[in-house]
Amino acid sequence: MRFDQEKLPIIYEAIKKNNVDAWLIAGKSTAIKSEPVLPVLGEVEFSAATSLIFTKESTCLAVVSSLDGDTYRNCEGIDEVIEYESSMEETMREVLNKLKPATLALDICSSDASSDGLTYGMYRHLQNVFASLNFSMETVSAFGIISEVRGRKTSSQIEKIRDCAIKADEYLRSVPSICKKGTTSLDIFNYLHDIAYSEGYGMSWADSQCPSVAVDPNVPAGHMGIISTPIVPGYLINIDYGVSKDGYCSDLQRMYYVLKDDEEDAPQEVKEAFYLVRDAIEAARKFMKPGVTGFEVDQIARHMIVDMGFDSWNAALGHQVGHQTHDGGTILANRRPRYNRPELIDTPLQLGNVFTLEPGVKVAAGKIGIEEDVVITEHGAEFLVEPQRELILIRI
């Protein structure tokens, strides 16, 4: 049991900024039914029914089973441990009646899975407690708090994400070395698995789906299990890939063109589309800084691409990445129904947020989708790894 000490100041700043009196995290057996925010706080896991209460006075109370008391007392960052013998409800009632928070934030959110960790069963227990309090209290979603606590990466976290991005990029750029006549998407998939595993890295998402390797525009692609398809001269290869280590991960896409026997370079149509996507990423990155919104960033890249006659791609421009590949919180997206939530796209970006930038277009030779990872700094946004500026050419 250990709190990430760099996160504690962010927690208390977020509570005050979101105008709540306390933030309650409650759960049990979180190894079975995860509470997404707990790993963000440090090495934290609930076994029996447990509640952590962070207050606007910058204190943390833990309501725990008597079996867990010593564990929490030895955790730096917890100011008071209150034990219960049988049921947590009665003790929680006493604690809340003493604190009397006018506004209490709970981990409930309909638009963001990373802020929706309170189970229905635990919610019902809490409702029983709230109904018997001797004061009036309002409950609100903890999305605003969790979005900051999860999204504002610390310097040490950023370096771990950067390491994963550098390694993924290194592995991706080595792919042409294994390509020969008869090489398939499955061969590339296995190669990127093996090289990462051999150096102590894992995949950023499910092993059966990471990486996505699209070598032929005529076969299914996307977030799915790999299909063994031979690489084809004259077609693009798109690889969506990330590696993970020590609880952090990256998410990149790299583009390749398989040369025909009589070609020395990719066709002009392919190169122009590639450069358009590359330049849209760069324009969005230059616009990014603390205070602008995800919607505004999305529009920079989307208008550049649509104005050149391409369709508006059916996805966001980017998402947060770090603890997970899709890390929750604010996103960079337009106002189509699945993204059109003010808390997701109209909330200002913050220092320490790590985002992907991943617009895409389609040409006859296949999909062009470049994906870069950037971190928001005081002066704007910087790439975590050198971006792809040219197509990677493959000669079979």
DSSP per residue, 108-148: --SS-GGG----HHHHHHHHHHHHT-SS--EEEE-HHHHHH
> pLDDT higher for 163 or 341?
163
pLDDT score for 19 = 97
CB-based contact 359:281 (threshold 8 Å): yes
Q: Is the pLDDT of residue 222 over 70?
A: no
Would you say domain 2-150 falls under CATH 3.40.350.10?
Answer: yes
Q: Is the pLDDT of residue 225 over 80?
A: no
**Scanning the structure block, which residue is given the tokens 């309090």?**
133
- Rounded to 5 degrees, what angle do the CA atoms 161, 162, 163 make? 90
Enter the pTM of the model: 0.93
Q: Is the pLDDT of residue 224 over 70?
A: no
Q: Are strands 372-377 and 354-357 parallel, antiparallel or unpaired?
A: antiparallel
d(C-alpha 157, C-alpha 13), whole Å: 19
| Stretch 368-391: mean pLDDT | 97
Give percent above pLDDT 70 in the chain.
99
| Stretch 15-43: mean pLDDT | 95
| Stretch 367-385: mean pLDDT | 97
Q: pLDDT category, 223, cuts 50, 70, 90? A: low
d(C-alpha 388, C-alpha 78), whole Å: 45
Domain boundaries, the chain: 2-150, 152-394
Between 41-45, 187-191, 239-243, the lowest mean confidence (pLDDT) is in 41-45
pLDDT score for 226 = 81
Give percent above pLDDT 90 in the chain.
93
User: Quick one: tokens of 126?
Assistant: 């809490």
User: Quick one: tokens of 157?
Assistant: 């976290």
pLDDT score for 208 = 93
Between 134-143, 146-155, 221-230, 322-331, the lowest mean confidence (pLDDT) is in 221-230
| Stretch 347-360: mean pLDDT | 97
pLDDT digits 0-9 by tens, 160-216: 999 999 999 999 999 999 999 999 999 999 999 999 999 999 999 999 999 999 999
| Stretch 73-93: mean pLDDT | 94
Q: CB-based contacts of 297: which residues, under 8 Å, 6+ apart?
A: 284, 287, 288, 317, 318, 332, 349
- Taking the domain 152-394, which CATH number applies? 3.90.230.10
Q: Could you write out the DSSP letters of every residue in 182-193? A: T-BHHHHHHHHH
| Stretch 307-325: mean pLDDT | 95
Cα–Cα nearest to 375, from 202, 154, 168, 170: 154
| Stretch 221-242: mean pLDDT | 88
**Counting Cβ atoms within 10 Å, is residue 26 exposed (0-12), middle (13-18) or buried (19+)?**
buried
Q: Is the pLDDT of residue 112 over 90?
A: yes
pLDDT score for 242 = 98
- Per the prediction, the chain carries an average pLDDT of 95
Cα–Cα nearest to 113, from 385, 348, 295, 325: 325
Q: Is the pLDDT of residue 45 over 80?
A: yes
| Stretch 233-239: mean pLDDT | 97
Sheet (strand 202-203) strand order: 202-203, 243-245, 248-249
The CA–CA distances, whole Å, from 371 to 274, 286, 325, 355 equal: 12, 15, 12, 10
Cα–Cα nearest to 369, from 303, 273, 284: 273
pLDDT score for 10 = 96
Q: pLDDT category, 341, cuts 50, 70, 90? A: confident
| Stretch 140-151: mean pLDDT | 96
pLDDT score for 336 = 86
